[in-house]
Amino acid sequence: MSAAHYAAARALLADPLTNKGTAFSEAERDRYHLHGLLPPHVGTLESQIARRRRVMEAMGSDFQRYAFLRELQDSNEVLFHALVQSDLPRMLPLVYTPTVGEGCERFSEIWRRPRGLFLSWPNRDHMADILDDTAFDRVKVIVVSDGERILGLGDQGAGGMGIPIGKLALYTACAGIHPSEVLPILLDVGTDNEARREDPLYVGWRAPRVRGADYDAFVEQFVTLVAKRFPHALLQWEDFAGKNAYDLLGRYRHRLLSFNDDIQGTAATTVGTLLAAIRRSGAALADQRVVLFGAGAAGSGVAEMLVQALMAEGLSQSEARARLWAVDREGLILTEMAQRPEGLPPQQVALARAREGGMADKMDLLATVRHVRPTVLIGASGQKGAFDEAVVRAMAEQVERPVIFPLSNPISRAEAHPADLLAWSEGRAIVGTGSPFGVAGVTQVNNVYIFPGVGLGALACGAREVSDGMFMAAARCLGQLGGDGEGLLPPIESLRDVALAIAIAVADQAQSEGLAMARPEHYTPEAIAARMWQPNYR
C-alpha cells in the first residue's frame, strides 16, 4: 500500500465529518485501507451510542461529561449528534446550559482541537483569507460572540467560544442543520477579565478589550466579509454586552440575515411561555401587571416584545407600557434618572416611569412588588437569590396564581430556586426557569424552543431579514403548542417537532411581510421537514 493510501486512511479517521469508528463495514475497510487501524469488530451506531453513554455516565461530574462530549464531537460528529438526540432531556443540559457556563470558564483548560474560527484583533488583516477556506463552502448558519457577556458569568474572552459551539450543536439537534453547514466564530478583541489574561493556559489574545471606533471598525470588517463570503447564511449574534448587543442588532439586522438571540430569542421564548401560563391561569394578557427584574439586553428585549403583544390585544402603546415596571441595579427605572449626567442606557429610556404617589425614595425590588402588586415577575438580572422569600410572599399575598420566571443562567446566577418559589407561594406559583432544576411542574424557559425554528424557517423561505413579526409569530406558535401535564411547554423530547412548527410559522410570517425570497414550494411543511438532517452514517 502506498504512502498516499496510508495518509488517506488516517485522514478519513481524523475528520469528524467522515469518521465512523468501528461502524466502518468490511467493504469500507477494504476500500479505504482501514484494516489494522480499527479493531476487527464491526459495530453499529446504536452500539456506539451505548458504549459512549456507559463511559459518560461513569464520570464524576457534569463538567467531565461536557468535556467528554466536546471531544466526541471533535472525533465523530454523527455519533455525537446521534447520542445527543437519543436522550435530549439528559443531553441538552450537558451540551449547553447550565454546564456550558463552566465549559466557558474552563475552555482553555480543555481545548484540544480546532473547531470554528477565532478572528482576533492581531490577525484582522488576514480575516478575508481565514474566511476563504473551502471547508466553509456549505455554511448556512453562523453563531458569533465576542465573549464579553457569557450567560450571567460576564467576560470570558476566548472562552466564550463555548457558546457558539453549544448553540450550533442545538441547531443540529433540534432544527436538523447539517454539521458541515454550521460555523462557530469568536471575535477575539481581548478581555477585561484579568484572571483569564493572567492564566498561563489561556488560549486567547492577552490584552484588554478593544473598544470604541476600533471595535466598531473590526466588526464592520467582519460583517462586510461575511456578507460577501456567505451571502445566503444566517448569522446569530450571541452574548454581546448590552450596548454592543443593541447597537450591532440595529446596525446590521437589515443588512444581512441576522438576529440577536439574547434580545429577540429570549423575548420570544419568554413571551410564548407567558402566553401559555396566562392561558392556564384563566386571565387575559391585557390584565397583567409585569415587573421585570434586570433591564439589560435580555430584559429590555422581553419588555419590547410584551409591549407589541399587548398592543395586539387592543391596547395603545402607552397603555401597554403602563403594564410594565422595570427594575435594574439602582431600583425601579424612573424618568428622573434620565436627567442625571450618566443618563439611562438607550434601551431603558422607553421603560422609565414617572414617579407616583406612595413610592419610596428608592424603589428596590421588594418596594416595587409591594407598590405594583404584579401578577408576573420575570428575572433576567444574573443576581442569585434576588427573588427572596419576602418578595415572593409579598407577591403571592395579592395574586392567586402568580407567574414567576427566574430566567438567569447558569443555575449559580438564578434569581431563585423553583422549589422555594413553590414553597413560599403555598404551591400556587406558575414557575418557569432559565436552567433545568428537575423540579416537578416547573417549566424550563429555554431559548432552544425558539431560535432553531426561527433559523430553520428563515433559511427555508430565503428570508431577506429576520423581522420582529417573525419572532412574534414564533412566540405565539410556542404559546399555542402548550405542554403535557404540569409543564407549560412541550417536553424536551419533542424539540424537533417544535422547531418544525415554529419554522412553518416563521416562514408564513416572512411570506406575509414580503420578506420570503424562495418559491412557496420550498417552504411547505413537507419541504421544511425534508431539510432536517438525521444523524446516520452514509
AA letter at 364: D
User: Residue 168 corresponds to which cell in the numbers above?
Assistant: 450550533
Query: Which among 96, 171, 252, 523 is annotated as catalytic?
Result: 96
- Residue 120, all three cell numbers: 482576533
Cα distance between residue 233 and residue 84, in whole Å: 25
Confirm whether 167 is a catalytic residue. Answer: yes
Q: Any idea which residue has 413571551 for its cell? A: 271
Q: How far is CA 107 from CA 45, 192, 494, in A?
A: 29, 17, 30
The SS3 assignment for 513 reads: coil
Annotated active-site residue in 20, 167, 202, 449: 167
Long-range interactions of 86-93: CB distance < 8 A, separation 24+: 86/49, 86/53, 88/173, 88/492, 88/493, 88/495, 89/491, 89/492, 89/493, 92/170, 92/173, 92/436, 92/446, 92/448, 92/492, 93/62, 93/435, 93/436
Going by C-beta distance under 8 Å and a sequence separation of 6 or more, which residues neighbour residue 282? none
Torsion of CA 263, 278, 351, 383, to 10 degrees: -60
Active site residue 449: no
Cβ contact 295:301 at 8 Å: no
DSSP letter assigned to residue 299: H
Q: Which grid cell is 9?
A: 486512511
Any idea what the Cα angle at residue 532 is, between residues 55 and 536, rounded to 5°? 40
Please report where in the chains the cell 448558519 appears, as a residue. 141
Q: What angle do CA 187, 193, 199 make, to 5 degrees?
A: 95
Cα(399)–Cα(411) distance, integer angstroms: 27
Grid cell in block for residue 445: 424557559
Q: Give the H or E element holding residue 67.
A: helix 62-73
Which residues have a catalytic role annotated? 96, 167
